[in-house]
Structure formats: C-alpha cells, structure tokens
C-alpha cells in the first residue's frame, strides 16, 4: 500500500521556471516524507512512482484532480527531493506557490547501468548501407532499476500540509514558456 502526502512545491521564480522548462533544468521540486526517505534509503537517480491526485493553488483551491500515474526522478544532489518534470509544470501551470497531493506507490532504486547496442539500420536501407552502419557501433548506457513497493499492506499519511495553511499571502502567477 502507498503513502499519501500533501506538500508545497519548492522552486524558482516563475520567470526562471519558464526558461528552465525549455532547457530541461530542474525548476520545481518537492520533498519526500522524511521517514520514507530514511526507511527506503532513497538516493539520487531513484524514481518515485505513484499518482498525482490533486493540485491546489495559493488560495487552497483545488485546480486539478488528474489522478495521473507518474514516475518522477529524484534530484541529482539528493534523493530527498523529487523533481517535477517540465511537462507537468506546463500542463498544470505549477509554481512554487502550489500544493500537490501525491500517492507514493513504488520506488525504483537505481542499481546500475547496462550497455545496449544501438542499431541504426532501417528496413528501407540497402544491404551495403546496413553493413556500413554496423561498422559504426554505438553503445548506450541504460539504467537498471529494482522496483520496491512502498509499505506493503498498509497505508501511511505522515506529511500532510494543513488546510488552514494553504492560503498564501504572497504569490506569483505561472509564466508560460
């Protein structure tokens, strides 16, 4: 069974987020419940799998209820921070002044990498071209993960932002890329 949490998003000024979304740089993130982070020894490169249940704005109003299965990476610096991908930032118009409800179901622990040979051959290519392409060997490193269920057989809810603290006095609006 999963762990549910409602957290405030952290990040940069929306004008910076606008540029970071275009470049793929980390723009918005949130923090795992400390107990889960410590018990599962979440590391940089691990992935957090679960459902994005709801998005709230700076007034505490629910703006989206996507119930969307997602797989979000942890930050390169620490496994404690979960990075929100640019596609989700744009789709839900997220800023550091938003809250999300998230159900953490699995953690994909990075175990290492395996090498995979890439083929550039195409069915429309001649045999001569295929042989020439095989001479140019390209090897790519592919991450290998171990999936771990979060708290099997039980439901936890330890990190929950209170309703009365979801109204922020100051906010900046989303700036589209």
Residue 173 lies in a domain: no
Q: Is residue 10 part of a domain?
A: yes
pLDDT digits (tens, 9 = 90+) for 5-58: 999 999 998 888 888 888 888 899 999 999 999 999 999 999 999 999 999 999
Question: Domain total for the chain?
Answer: 1
Q: Is residue 131 part of a domain?
A: no
Cα gap 66→1, rounded to integer Å? 20
pLDDT surpasses 60 at 152: yes
Answer yes or no: is pLDDT of 121 > 60: no
C-alpha gyration radius of the chain: 20
Task: Examine residue 123 and state whether it is found in any structural domain, yes or no.
Answer: no
| pLDDT for residue 19 | 85
Domain ranges, residue 53: 3-112+143-165
pTM of the complete model: 0.84
């Amino acid at each position: 069974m999963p762990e549910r949490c409602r957290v405030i998003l952290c990040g940069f000024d929306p004008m910076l987020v606008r540029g970071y979304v275009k470049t793929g740089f980390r723009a918005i993130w949130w923090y795992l419940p400390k107990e889960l982070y410590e018990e599962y020894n979440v590391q940089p490169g691990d992935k957090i799998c679960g459902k994005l249940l709801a998005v709230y704005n700076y007034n505490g109003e629910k703006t989206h209820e996507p119930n969307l299965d997602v797989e979000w990476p942890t930050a390169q610096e620490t496994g404690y921070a979960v990075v929100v991908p640019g596609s989700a930032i744009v789709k839900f118009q997220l800023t550091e002044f938003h809250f999300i409800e998230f159900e953490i179901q699995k953690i994909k622990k990075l175990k290492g990498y395996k090498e995979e040979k890439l083929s550039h051959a195409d069915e429309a290519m001649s045999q001569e071209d295929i042989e020439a392409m095989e001479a140019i060997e390209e090897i790519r490193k592919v991450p290998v993960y171990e999936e771990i269920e979060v708290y099997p057989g039980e439901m936890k809810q330890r990190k929950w932002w209170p309703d009365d603290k979801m109204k922020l006095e100051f906010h900046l609006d989303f700036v589209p890329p």
